[in-house]
Chains A and B, each alone.
Chain A
């Protein structure tokens, strides 16, 4: 079996079989050719006024600068275009328990608000006097984020969680450099999401791993051993990727500060504690918040996200441009790091960040209010513990003792000797109508299965999910192996050959 380094198989096991012709649909599942297979190489689905087309034909002023070969891409009419995919699982279809991704319901009010012309149709560089409402909205978002985290400052512009991590580490780098002491190392637990070490490396640091205890927490003794005056920052996810709250978080912060390092908290799992715990009370210096997780802006098939970073007083002066300033004439934007704010470390992106996501996040915050947000955290944690309690008899919880936070982590001990892997079980879930949980992450648990139900599932849906998994687990134990090793059978496609995709990359369509 072909496997990647984390033990996940990449090649389907089942032999090729004769199927129906590829151009057939099945019931409501339609055949969906590529746009390049629909013809339309010389047509367009956009109507232009004939007189404007005629008036635009002379491009002699651009002689020698125009395309030598015509742009060859198909154009489709609107009805052809609308027959676009139904071949995706989505939160709106069923519970989507992708651990650490927080696939919760996306309120449609956010979509409606973000499309108001006063938000979607304003230019980032039009006069600030004509965008006072937009700046007020950013200020409102900043106020909520600072209040919910108990932190004095926030940099809004990072465009996703990993971009926020980078922003935080660059602020930390700038703070060290301002003290004339460029440090070399960032400490990251072994259980961290891959973006943490990748970001630390991108920010120019060497990465050193902190060990984890047998019960899924940062090993404080190991941390203390590794801390010295060459450590720039300690990056800890809290609640962590095992779904546990770091009990010793205040001690982690104290030890970190004692050697002059900064405490970066990965806030990917803030949804578990929003309204109940303020990271500022834990000694955090910087923390990004994935607006697409905690504040439910849609995940969109892989973005856009938004990753504002809250900062402690020590790091606030180093925040990147732009930022808001409020004076008698209303809001203004400070867009240049030099001059007025000499310590700002630079700029994360061309403009002011993800305005479209800000509108959706503020809509979500205002809708829930401080009481509703606290309930969000409580229900997220309650739902995860409910799933953990219901499934623990059949599956092996990685950390059975004590409660989990917003996600329940299982390992593959319960699959030992069955001939079924975590991957097989996940694919079996697809046949039962559910998106699989996060698999093989965190890396510290063998064959990990990380289940995050979120707060927006009903008791009925949680029970349906648990009943289904219990039935599947019983089938595994009853020896119904092929139901899993060959799965999925009922998805639009059977298992895909990732090895071939990587060995002979075909990354674009060719005739």
Chain B
């Protein structure tokens, strides 16, 4: 077996050193009734070539986004990732190390986390950011839990523009903690509706911008009103590239900001692994979930970095911890940080502008199709359109013609009467040719 270095003679020599008659002697604590006497019923070992063949066939049965016109967003975005990002994250020192428990021999990881936190803090416009969460949706759920701890209140109001899967993830976690979530009905452009739902027991309002329909909203006034009512303002962003152009959550008065960081440095990966970004006001720091990396000095006074404020965390506080998170999303955070280091602030802003311009081109092309109505009033790189009939079968038909034409809203939320709504997205990877093929194919399908 190519990954197992021991030979049979190693094994028998080692058993002799141990003083065990055979390998079974090392498993004596297993109850006799539970000892398997032979291999379980699964295929035997396979060489690299055979495994590559099998997996290559499976991969070949999927239609890669890069194989043709592609317009899906809704929480996961196709962007170009520079080759150096993937090279660096495969370096052994990053790929095959673990959580930096021994800082003297983990400065590589720690320094990157410190840089990552600084980048996330700048992007979200809030002073403190953690070292990553699993993804945007779990970060959103943890933000609600944090708000309940901070305010000692038991309700959360979720905007109708919040991604339905984020709302479901949040509701799942909050329910067990006895926190009531009130999700408003999906609406393309009605974020301020959360204000009417605030009461004296409301811990937070959760508003997404750009929202799941692509609508960009300045939430400053909502944040002010929420704060006046004693609730925290949580701002969610699923498309991190938008932060290069749009007002940051901090600029708009967010207390906590969470985002999906996949867009920067990470592939689509069918939904994971991704990287959750999490930042907050300084005063809330000690209620924050997740790992934090901080600067310090070594015994010779040289600058170095360590994991810090761990008295919030499960390995010290156990059942009193701010979260149960342990392993987070280190390598995805690294990919984010490297891509962000290449882009810089000016590069991300340029990238965001190009995304926006592409989406406007797409909007123009789709608006010209008879029967298509543009729903999103202010957009970044994605928007919602109403089709003359249910979106899901149309998307399926487009796929049959080689066009991945966006996400039917019913896929995210089947029960809300939005069956004719389609979510579409364009990024820097979308070409003018892609857009014209999409528009032409969609027009044909609608006319059918």
Contact = CB atoms under 8 A, between A and B. Distances in A.
Contacts of A163: 134, 138, 325
Given A62-B356, A67-B245, A292 B321 contact: no
A357 B273 contact: yes
Contacts of B60: 118, 133
A87 B100 CA distance: 11
A430 interface: yes
A498 B296 CA distance: 7
Given A74-B341, A118-B62, A505-B308, A494 B302 contact: yes
B42 A369 contact: yes
B117 A507 contact: yes
A370 B42 contact: yes
A247 B26 contact: no
Given A73-B340, A372-B4, 12 more contacts: A42-B344, A55-B357, A56-B357, A73-B344, A74-B345, A133-B58, A147-B40, A281-B33, A299-B98, A351-B272, A386-B17, A494-B299
Contacts of A277: 27, 30, 34-36
A65 interface: yes
B72 interface: yes
Contact of A90 (B1, B20, B92): B92
B45 A368 contact: yes
A228 to B, nearest CB: 19
A430 B104 contact: yes
Interface string B153-185: 000000000010110110111011110000000
Contacts of A447: none
Contact of A56 (B26, B57, B82, B350): B350
A85 B100 CA distance: 14
16 contacts: A81-B88, A121-B66, A159-B135, A169-B176, A193-B326, A199-B324, A247-B31, A346-B169, A349-B137, A351-B272, A355-B271, A366-B54, A366-B55, A369-B42, A455-B6, A497-B298
For the complex of A and B, 8 pairs with smallest distance between CB atoms: A75-B344, A351-B271, A85-B108, A118-B59, A300-B331, A44-B347, A133-B61, A346-B172
B51 A109 contact: yes
Interface string A417-428: 000000000110
Given A201-B319, A299-B96, A370-B40, A375 B75 contact: no
B299 A48 contact: no
Contact of B52 (A6, A109, A304): A109
Interface in B307-328: 308-311, 313-321, 323-328
A257 interface: no
Nearest to A381: B26
A300 B74 CA distance: 27
B268 A123 contact: yes
Given A302-B109, A303-B330, A120 B268 contact: yes
Interface in B46-75: 46-48, 50-52, 54-67, 70, 72, 74-75
B440 interface: no
A371 B43 CA distance: 8
B360 interface: yes
Contacts of B234: none
A245 B27 CA distance: 8
B95 A496 contact: no
A329 B369 CA distance: 32
Interface in A121-138: 121-127, 129-134, 136-137
Given A202-B173, A367-B46, A88 B94 contact: yes
B297 interface: yes
Contact of A366 (B34, B46, B329): B46
A76 B344 contact: yes
A250 B378 CA distance: 61
B200 interface: no
Interface stretch (A218-226, A309-317, A330-338, A474-482): A330-338
B433 interface: no
Contacts of A84: 88, 91, 108, 112, 338
B338 to A, nearest CB: 6
